[in-house]
Structure 1
Amino acid sequence: MKITRVAAVSVAAVIALTACNSNSTSSDGTADSGGKPQALNRIEIIAPAAPGSGWDQTARAVQDTMRAGGLVKAPEVKNVAGASGTVALAQVAPQKGKKDLWIASGLAMMSGVISNGTGVTLDELTPLARLMGEYEAIVIPKNSPYKSVEDLFKAIKKNPKSVAIAGGSAGSADHIYIGLLAQHFGVKPADVNYVPYSGGGEAMTAMLGGKVQAGISGLSEFAAQVKVGRLKGLLVSSAKPVDGVEFVQTAADIDKGLEFQNWRSMMAPGGLDEKVTAQYIDALKKMYASQGWKDALQRNSWNDNFITGDEFSSWLKEENTRVKGVLDELGLAKN
């Protein structure tokens, strides 16, 4: 399961995303008296993790921005947690052709499919848009003895079972990044006492309750607690410090090859009518262009990595091949 320095660099390059914009496409042509496309009547958005998780935050940011912009009259969010999002995937994938149903997806679900050996895959969904990217954050309780990530992994190397790290589901982006850091510091990924939770809220509770010694999740899930001093920011997986949230180290302070971004997207059941798909993509593009979405990106420290349609579909195929290679290296791939 050993990853060479070259492999680690390639992994980070794979996951790191390039922000890009897309031009609007037309909807199905339905228009009001002013010639503008009508709002979608209702969309149920499945957040495939617990409340407070990165997926939940993403789904609710889409819900709020769509509603405020008049793009969807009645957007609703439903949480379906479990197994890196694959529980929700298994519920949505069979509903081929179903309208008014979206599911938040992303790197964690893609890796969950591969690491859990599920019977359904992202190929059974209709790609709509890659929405954003997010850095990973490693945090510790404010009274923790660890002063750096080097201290943390030194303790893990000495006695792996004595240091529990809370994170997302097995095979998630959190798990992948801990595996990469473990390899960098000469620790076998399988030796890390990684404790999976269904969301950042549960991981934070475990830390504050003294059940684990550190936690890893998307930056937005821990940022508020770091800002008020309840948790200490140990490492952010960016090349540079992030605005407004203090961390002891960035990835570049350790090795530039360890820069890493998670990504999240919006998808729909497979087999959708092309006009319906175009209408959904059009609504997401209008959301992306709104001030409300720009505010959400800034508020959550998300990176602008928006692409849609065919470009997103092609990118997904490449990403799946590369992520599988990462999980093979970490000994986590089953699918």
Structure 2
Amino acid sequence: MKKSRRSAVVAIAAIAALALAGCSAQSSPGGKTDAGGDADASFSDVSIIVPADPGGGWDQTGRTMAKVLTEDKIVKTAPVTNVGGAGGTIGLAQLATEKDPATLMVNGLVMVGAIETNASQVRLEDTTPIARLTDEALVVVVPADSKYETLKDLVEDIVDNGQAVTVTGGSAGGADHILAGLLLEAAGLDSAEIPQKLNYTPNAGGGEAVSLILGGKVDAGISGVAEFQQHIESGKMRALAVSGAEPVAQLPDVPTITDAGYDVELTNWRGVIAPGDISDAERAELERIVTEMHDTDAWKKELETKGWADAFLTGSELDTFIEQNITDVTGTLKNIGLI
């Protein structure tokens, strides 16, 4: 009798231990799973980090994501935090210390270049790619009362007068800076001449660039079409050219850079990454959340409204794309003398 009783107590204790282990593996405070090993992960909330100041393309991307994710009830909450500076590398450094696996950081071509020009200790390879989301043409603009009527007017003045002509845009080494360098390369300058001629003022967010252009503090600006569109339509800025292979729907009368006389094409992709030390299950859950967002009608409507091309990519294809993009951007930065 005593032996049977002891066996029953041991059995109950074992069952309780298994049940407790199962509970702790399934959820953690805040509705976020502490998924160890190959366990499934399930996030009811995500945090979104925008590694730039408010007003630019990354900020628009992060806040649009938060809106769709919550309004379509894919997650309960998706708070957005801005951590601006150094082309996203300050935010990237913060992501490296992030302990919450349910964290998404907006990134893209700008960050790839900024990592090189800022000699960032934390690299894109140290993070977990989740998805490429969009692709957007850039636009070269001048204030409405500018003396430059065409892109050729602007580029030739930079070639002739160098540092006397000021151009603004996003971070140093980002897509806007690269495009400015490529334009001067197409105009015949070599990699040694471009840094000497190009007077480029970088900004931590699109809002700062807008202020400089509208305030007449610079001669020209470069950014994503969506960031300057309202100011172009209101007549406060004049668009000289767009950087894609074709004119964009929002600015149908604005020529491409190629049509304006320079053999240059460049588009700016944006996506999201996560901390580098998350598990495979946690990466899969974040991919599921972002994929579900991408498939909504609300996201498709936002793409159309903002003029963002759908460039959705996940998994191993995304890994390959990012690896190649790092190689390509680094080579371009060297060719045009920016690193």
Aligned to 1:23: none
CA–CA distance in structure 1, aligned partners of residues 283 and 26 of structure 2: 13
The residue type paired with residue 243 of structure 1 is: A
CA–CA distance in structure 1, aligned partners of residues 240 and 262 of structure 2: 17
CA–CA distance in structure 2, aligned partners of residues 142 and 247 of structure 1: 16
Q: Which structure exhibits the higher relative contact order, with contacts defined as CA atoms closer than 8 Å and separated by 6 or more residues?
A: 1
Residue segments in structure 1 that go unaligned for 5+ positions in a row: 1-27, 31-36
**Number of corresponding residues:** 299
Aligned to 2:44: 41
Deviations 1:280-305 (A, max 9, x none): 10111111111111111111111111
Deviations 1:282-331 (A, max 9, x none): 11111111111111111111111100122111211111111111111122
Aligned to 2:111: 109
- The answer on 1:79 being equivalent to 2:82 is yes
CA–CA distance in structure 1, aligned partners of residues 280 and 232 of structure 2: 45
Would you identify which runs of 4 or more consecutive aligned residues in structure 1 move more than 6 Å?
none
Aligned to 2:225: 219
The residue type paired with residue 249 of structure 1 is: P
Aligned to 1:13: none
Match of 1:240 among 243, 246, 249: 246
CA–CA distance in structure 1, aligned partners of residues 144 and 42 of structure 2: 47
User: Alignment RMSD, CA only?
Assistant: 2.0
- The answer on 1:206 being equivalent to 2:212 is yes
The residue correspondences of 1:130-145 to structure 2 (distance < 5 A) are 130-145=132-147
CA–CA distance in structure 2, aligned partners of residues 331 and 158 of structure 1: 18
Deviations 1:242-281 (A, max 9, x none): 1132554212303584121111111100111221211110
More strand as a share of residues: 1
- TM-score, scaled to structure 2: 0.84
Larger radius of gyration: 2
The residue type paired with residue 239 of structure 1 is: A
Residue segments in structure 2 that go unaligned for 5+ positions in a row: 1-24, 28-39
SS in 1 for 2:101: coil
SS in 2 for 1:55: helix
Aligned to 1:180: 182
Q: CA deviation at 1:68?
A: 1.5
The residue correspondences of 1:146-157 to structure 2 (distance < 5 A) are 146-157=148-159
- The answer on 1:93 being equivalent to 2:96 is yes
The residue type paired with residue 110 of structure 1 is: V
User: Structure 1 231/121 Cα, relative in aligned 2: closer, same or farther at 3 Å?
Assistant: same
- TM-score, scaled to structure 1: 0.85
Q: CA deviation at 1:161?
A: 2.3
Aligned to 1:271: 277
SS in 2 for 1:103: strand
